[in-house]
């Protein structure tokens, strides 16, 4: 389930996001969940209506918005989900976390100690050689940052 908490502390729980929502993102209007066991995403409108889009090739672990589409990190791939639920999966990346830097989507590759940049066309560049397995990734306006399984943090220049 997903719970909305208003600024006054009122809570509304929405049930029906499929199996084990594990991550959540906002697209400016709707909330979206990445559903780990459901191998899909659920869009929740401001009125609470839910639409689930299934069919990813792997279980999503993270979700991010690029200004138009939602993207999920799926362990060994990333999936772009259009506003109407059309999915395109791009393989060849280990993906445990995902972040948008204004132009490109970046994923943290836990299993191969890497980060991967996916440009809008879907082409990918993978950067290897991290000292530890990154679990998640974030953008600070200049650099990407990973939090790593060995309790460290890595800063990666996006230039």
Is the distance from CB of 60 to CB of 73 less than 8 angstroms? yes
Q: CA 109, CA 126: separation in Å to the nearest integer? A: 9
Task: Return the sign of the alpha-carbon dihedral for residues 42, 97, 70, 143.
Answer: positive
DSSP 8-class letter at 67: S
Give the model's pLDDT for residue 101: 92
Please write the tens of the pLDDT for every residue from 38-96. 778 889 998 888 888 887 778 888 999 999 999 998 878 888 898 888 888 887 777 78
Mean per-residue pLDDT for 103-115?
Answer: 89
Distances (CA, A) of 100 to 15, 23, 47, 69: 28, 15, 27, 11
Cβ atoms < 10 Å from Cβ of 53:
21
pTM: 0.82
Please write the tens of the pLDDT for every residue from 131-154. 889 999 999 999 999 999 999 998
Checking 109-118 for CB contacts under 8 A at 24+ apart, the result is 109/134, 110/134, 110/135, 110/149, 111/76, 115/144, 115/146, 115/156, 116/78, 116/92, 117/158, 118/71, 118/78, 118/90, 118/93
Is the distance from CB of 139 to CB of 99 less than 8 angstroms? yes
Q: Nearest to residue 22, comparing CAs of 135, 104, 118, 124?
A: 135
Give the model's pLDDT for residue 123: 87
Q: CA 5, CA 34: separation in Å to the nearest integer? A: 19
Q: How confident is the model at residue 14 (pLDDT cuts 50, 70, 90)?
A: confident
For residue 2, pLDDT beyond 90: no
């Amino acid at each position: 389930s997903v719970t909305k908490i208003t600024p006054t502390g009122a809570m509304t729980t929405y049930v029906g996001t499929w199996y084990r929502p594990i991550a959540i993102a906002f697209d400016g209007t709707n909330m979206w969940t990445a559903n780990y066991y459901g191998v899909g995403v659920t869009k929740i409108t401001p009125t609470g209506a839910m639409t689930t889009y299934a069919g990813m090739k792997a279980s999503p672990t993270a979700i991010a918005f690029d200004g138009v589409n939602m993207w999920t990190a799926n362990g060994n791939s990333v999936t772009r989900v259009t506003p109407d639920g059309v999915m395109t999966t791009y393989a060849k990346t280990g993906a445990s976390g995902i972040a948008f830097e204004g132009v490109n989507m970046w994923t943290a590759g836990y299993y191969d100690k890497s980060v991967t940049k996916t440009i809008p066309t879907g082409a990918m560049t993978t950067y290897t050689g991290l000292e530890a397995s990154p679990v998640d990734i974030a953008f600070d306006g200049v650099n990407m940052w990973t939090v790593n399984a060995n309790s460290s943090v890595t800063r990666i220049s996006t230039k």
